[in-house]
Structure 1
Amino acid sequence: MQHHNSGDDRLDRRVFIPSLAVLIAVVAPMILFPEAGPAAVSAAFAFATGQFGWLYLLAGFGAVVFLVGLAISRYGNVRLGGPDDAPEFSYFSWIAMIFCGGIGIAIVNWAWVEPIYYMQGPPFGVEPMSAAAAEWALTYGQFHWGLTPWAIYCLPAIPIAYSMYVRRQPGVRLSVAARGVLGDHADGWGGVLLDAIVVFGIVGGVGTSLGLAVPLVSTLVSGQLGVAPSLGLDLGILAIWTAIFGASVWFGLSKGIKILSDTNVLLAIFLLAFTFIVGPKIFIIEGWVNSFGQMASNFVTMSTWTDPVTHSSFPQDWTIFYWAWWIAYAPMMGLFVARISRGRTIRELIVAELVWGSLGCWVFFAVWGGYALDLQVSGRLDVSAILSEGGIPATVQAILNTMPMSGLITAVFVILCFIFLATTLDSAAYVLASVTSRKLSGYQEPKRSIRLTWAFILAAVGVALIQLGGLKPVQTSTIVVALPLIPVLVILSLSLLRWLKEDFGSETSLHHLVTKHPAA
């Protein structure tokens, strides 16, 4: 493979130091003032979702409309790379890396229990725990993990990849991709600030994932081994995680991250198939078909429902919370997906995320969510009561215990949890290293030393937050960070459109677009 331009892979202190400062500024008060810190964050969160909930909803809906339009337009044929740039990874590995980087541990956590939560507190004034609540429960799981989240993820990936592989601009970071609008300000403090916010969003998002994952695995492991849950067990689990993803980050994209993602997808398929075979097959299939139809016919309503009159907290608690969470994660996903998508066309990338990403999530929710809902509806297990009393980890454990060979299945599930979170963490450390490197070209990997530094910072943040129980505030602050990221996503989209018009505006023969390269 020819290297078009050698970038500069040294640590960029201009981005690294402010990023670390922002991180410390947010995490330190949580540690020093365990009461006041979280309270301030909760107030900020209530303000952001209460006053700007409509904006998050419009951002999500707008992303779907924009990308579908882009995919069917003539610009869908634009190749993210030179005319001779072949895709770097096989289609399966490419999709696997996109899916695992984007969804991580969260889906293994939520797919079992989320429909039960919706059944307890359904939308649209439906009677809790009723048959209608059960139908909406399956529908909303598909909605909150479907087209809109993947559109939010996909949106920044295209301008970043375009900047890297078509415009050949060195620097794997958001400020570079915003250059179409920001111009030379992208190199100044505005760009640095933008990149520092991105770094904070990534670390906060990853902190959230760790916060979901460690208690879940801790509960399952303690149940299997018959030891009491303790801080020591939590830290031991975190240490194993750090070893797995540290090694993966060390080996880089094609040896580490790709192999972990491939393994992850195969394990997940095995567990989903097993659940389907031992579970209520017809209920799962009918539930999926029904919820797909209900979501399709109510998509616009669900995407824009603010509940302005009765003010139930459903939109804030769920849809707005999720859209904000996806937006906070979007820069990381955009940077990671851009880095692995050289040689693909814009249309291929949109299909990969919106179609395959959504389908992947839908299968989890249809099979695991359907299995859990059937336990509840048929009365075989009162999942709702366990969830209210024991929380998510205890509920997942109880659901797994209803399966044949539950010991073996729980063990496989724990391994899946380990790999799933590791794939999120390694892509996060990889992206953080890219953002804090000077002028990385799209053909380079960031330095190992920088990648490992971030791997250990992520682990350290995780340990600090688990010990202090300060995960909720960090999760919440991540979502507050999502508010300023909405205009950033708009800037990236405008940047992309401006570049596409400049590069391909006049051409009519657009069977295969070959770009006029600016001097690289």
Structure 2
Amino acid sequence: MQKQQLDKFLLITSLSIVTAIVLGLTMFPEAGKAGANTLFSTFTMLFGTPVLLAVFAAVVFLTILGFSKYGNIRLGLGKPEYSTFSWVSMMICAGLGSATVYWAFTEWAYYFNAPPLGFQTNTTGAYEIGTAYNLFHWGISAWATYCIASLPVAYHFHVRKNKGLSLSAVCTAIRGDDKPMTPFWKAVCRVIDIIFIFTCFGGLSITLGVSVPMVSEIVCSVIGIPATFGVNLTIIIVISAVFSLSSYIGIAKGMAKISSMNTYFAIAFCLAVFLIGPTLFIAKSTVNGLGTMFQNFVKMSLWTDPVNNSGFPEGWTIFYWLYWITYTPFVGLFVTKISKGRTIRAVIMNMLLSGSAGCFFFFGIIGNFSQHANINGVVEVAKLISTGKGNFAIVQLLNTLPLSTIFIVVFAIISILFLATTLDSAAYTMAATVTPGLKTGEDPAPFHRLFWCIMLAAVPLAMMFIDAPLNTIKTCAIVTSIPLSFIIGYMVYGFVKWMGQDYAEKSAETIIAEGRK
């Protein structure tokens, strides 16, 4: 087998940028926090409205595409490599990660303390809109953001059979392989790949930044020791060992099995909470939240709060859409790798419907269990959130369950496995980006994936070391996702152009028949 070549320039440049960020945050923590707050406010103010419009347009576009004849296009010939359950499990686990379990318990409380859409805090309406927004931010629009970036990559790789599993390779193919590779375009490709690598670090900094301290707090509550930076470091080493082993083994033996196992764990955990906890309240509140969300979907999607300027759209909806955008590169590349043999319609349905349903199930049960405890004064979740004690609130909530130690241990395992699968998919796609000319059926070298697994822990550790507040962590997503949005826009343009060139003259029956060959 021919030895794979690495893009040394991209590798060195990416590591230099990451090293500079880590050293800057460590040596100048206060300046880093102040700068992050300024960037967060500026970027969300300037780009907020276009981002809301773009994400809503993505939902509409994917809905039309899924029902059109182009939905029958098969992404690669032959049978799918993975079972439907494994395919759905890997997609959900790669797209969400363990940040999900933190927000599932606490997110409604942030909205309850500062309600959107003119609701007043400490009211019934504040509770209900908190649930609705919780489901909205992790539902259809989030998955549409993933899907709109995944389809151009999958089409490029499986249908057009172009070489390279990187964003720059997709953009180069859209530009036209027959055109000469000018020095200017080479520089553009370098910038695209650097943005991709930097975006992965930005998005994962949020995931690790909120997840690792949560897991540390949970583990320490069982052991009976205080949660310190040393404990955070130990947790990251354990997590790194899990996803490094998974990455080294490979997708089929590693991540597919871990994702399926973790999905079973998560379903069992949620069902146990549902049955042992306030079952009727959870069911009623989840259904009510879904009704409120769907009834106000367009308004919530495009609400900018122009009169009061409360900051809610910028601090939450716009932040979340940009957060999802930071995940789109490696989710898109990873979805491409695991979706060979699936149709465009199947990918859209899986991501928008299965992905959203999984989140509704998880957030509906866990979020409303948490909300019920606050309503009845069992745990003052909203008050603890307002004082920055979200992780402590989660521990207190878990302690209200019978056999609480078992629930806490299972919850910690779910968090670690969710995070491991997310980082595994990120390490895979980062390694693929720095391995030029990757062909269909080829994977990046195992040790190369292992290297990126280790590197991904650097920036989040720096965030934890300086005890960065939530807004500082959020800024990682804001800064990195803005330039990436323009790249995704170009990729979608190329995707539409390709479909028109390849299938505009073909009927739906012809497309289906070709996919069965």
| Aligned-pair CA distance for 1:469 | 3.0
Q: How many residues were matched structurally?
A: 509
Distance 1:411 1:132 in 2: 34
Distance 2:382 2:461 in 1: 31
Do the aligned residues in 1 keep the contact of 2:82 with 2:338 (CA within 8 Å)?
yes
Tell me which residue corresponds to 1:486.
485
Q: Which stretch of structure 1 is more off in the superposition, 60-69 or 348-357?
A: 60-69
For residues 52-102 of structure 1, give each alpha carbon's deviation from its aligned partner in whole angstroms, at most 9, with x where no partner exists. Answer: 1101111211111111111111100000013xx221111000100000001
Tell me which residue corresponds to 1:165.
158
**Code of the aligned partner of 2:330:** M
The residue matched to 1:81 in structure 2 has which SS?
Answer: coil
**Code of the aligned partner of 1:290:** N
Do the aligned residues in 2 keep the contact of 1:157 with 1:333 (CA within 8 Å)?
yes
Alignment pair present for 1:200 and 2:198 = yes
Distance 1:204 1:9 in 2: 27
Distance 2:39 2:219 in 1: 36
Q: Give 1:355-366 correspondences, 5 Å limit.
A: 355-366=353-364
Tell me which residue corresponds to 2:143.
150
Distance 1:400 1:334 in 2: 34
Do the aligned residues in 2 keep the contact of 1:112 with 1:368 (CA within 8 Å)?
yes
Q: Which stretch of structure 1 is more off in the superposition, 232-241 or 148-157?
A: 232-241
Alignment pair present for 1:510 and 2:510 = yes
Do the aligned residues in 2 keep the contact of 1:156 with 1:489 (CA within 8 Å)?
yes
| Aligned-pair CA distance for 1:474 | 5.1
Structure 1 runs not aligned, ≥5 long: 1-5
Tell me which residue corresponds to 1:3.
none
Change over 3 Å in CA distance of 1:233–1:28 after alignment to 2: closer
Tell me which residue corresponds to 2:300.
302
Could you tell me which of 426, 449, 452 is aligned with 1:451? Answer: 449
Q: Give 1:219-230 correspondences, 5 Å limit.
A: 219-230=217-228
| Aligned-pair CA distance for 1:8 | 7.2
Do the aligned residues in 2 keep the contact of 1:175 with 1:195 (CA within 8 Å)?
yes
Distance 2:379 2:30 in 1: 37
Could you tell me which of 45, 53, 59 is aligned with 1:50? Answer: 45
Do the aligned residues in 1 keep the contact of 2:119 with 2:126 (CA within 8 Å)?
yes
| Aligned-pair CA distance for 1:470 | 4.7
Distance 1:390 1:43 in 2: 21
Tell me which residue corresponds to 1:87.
80
Do the aligned residues in 2 keep the contact of 1:77 with 1:510 (CA within 8 Å)?
no
Tell me which residue corresponds to 1:22.
17
Structure 2 runs not aligned, ≥5 long: none
The residue matched to 1:243 in structure 2 has which SS?
Answer: helix
Do the aligned residues in 2 keep the contact of 1:12 with 1:437 (CA within 8 Å)?
yes
For residues 379-413 of structure 1, give each alpha carbon's deviation from its aligned partner in whole angstroms, at most 9, with x where no partner exists. Answer: 33322222223521101001101111111110111
**Code of the aligned partner of 1:497:** V
Percentage identity across aligned positions? 38
Could you tell me which of 108, 112, 125 is aligned with 1:115? Answer: 108
Distance 2:451 2:488 in 1: 28
| Aligned-pair CA distance for 1:478 | 2.7
Change over 3 Å in CA distance of 1:170–1:349 after alignment to 2: same
Do the aligned residues in 1 keep the contact of 2:107 with 2:134 (CA within 8 Å)?
yes
Could you tell me which of 333, 336, 347 is aligned with 2:334? Answer: 336
Tell me which residue corresponds to 2:168.
175
Change over 3 Å in CA distance of 1:7–1:188 after alignment to 2: farther
| CA-based RMSD | 1.9
| Aligned-pair CA distance for 1:430 | 0.8
Do the aligned residues in 2 keep the contact of 1:211 with 1:471 (CA within 8 Å)?
no
Distance 1:421 1:256 in 2: 14
The residue matched to 1:325 in structure 2 has which SS?
Answer: helix
Distance 1:126 1:371 in 2: 22
Tell me which residue corresponds to 1:496.
495
For residues 280-304 of structure 1, give each alpha carbon's deviation from its aligned partner in whole angstroms, at most 9, with x where no partner exists. Answer: 1121111121111111111110000
Do the aligned residues in 1 keep the contact of 2:18 with 2:459 (CA within 8 Å)?
no
Tell me which residue corresponds to 1:75.
70
The residue matched to 1:153 in structure 2 has which SS?
Answer: helix
Distance 1:86 1:408 in 2: 41
Alignment pair present for 1:35 and 2:30 = yes
**Code of the aligned partner of 1:165:** H
**Code of the aligned partner of 1:41:** A
| Aligned-pair CA distance for 1:471 | 7.4
Tell me which residue corresponds to 1:125.
118
**Code of the aligned partner of 1:319:** T
| Aligned-pair CA distance for 1:178 | 2.2
Q: Which stretch of structure 1 is more off in the superposition, 184-193 or 110-119?
A: 184-193
For residues 314-369 of structure 1, give each alpha carbon's deviation from its aligned partner in whole angstroms, at most 9, with x where no partner exists. Answer: 11111011111011111111111111111100000001100000000111111011
Change over 3 Å in CA distance of 1:199–1:409 after alignment to 2: same
Distance 1:197 1:207 in 2: 15
| Aligned-pair CA distance for 1:464 | 3.3
**Code of the aligned partner of 2:462:** A
Distance 2:254 2:413 in 1: 17
Distance 2:261 2:2 in 1: 32
Distance 1:138 1:170 in 2: 44
Do the aligned residues in 2 keep the contact of 1:160 with 1:177 (CA within 8 Å)?
yes
The residue matched to 2:121 in structure 1 has which SS?
Answer: coil
Distance 1:197 1:8 in 2: 27
| Aligned-pair CA distance for 1:499 | 0.6
**Code of the aligned partner of 2:499:** L
| Aligned-pair CA distance for 1:510 | 3.4
Change over 3 Å in CA distance of 1:445–1:471 after alignment to 2: farther
Do the aligned residues in 2 keep the contact of 1:19 with 1:197 (CA within 8 Å)?
no
Distance 1:59 1:245 in 2: 33
Distance 1:513 1:48 in 2: 47
The residue matched to 1:178 in structure 2 has which SS?
Answer: helix
Tell me which residue corresponds to 2:290.
292
Alignment pair present for 1:406 and 2:404 = yes
Distance 1:128 1:336 in 2: 41
Alignment pair present for 1:63 and 2:58 = yes
**Code of the aligned partner of 1:48:** F
The residue matched to 1:386 in structure 2 has which SS?
Answer: helix
**Code of the aligned partner of 1:514:** E
TM-score, structure 1 as length reference: 0.94
| Aligned-pair CA distance for 1:436 | 0.7
Alignment pair present for 1:105 and 2:95 = no
Change over 3 Å in CA distance of 1:390–1:194 after alignment to 2: closer
The residue matched to 1:327 in structure 2 has which SS?
Answer: helix
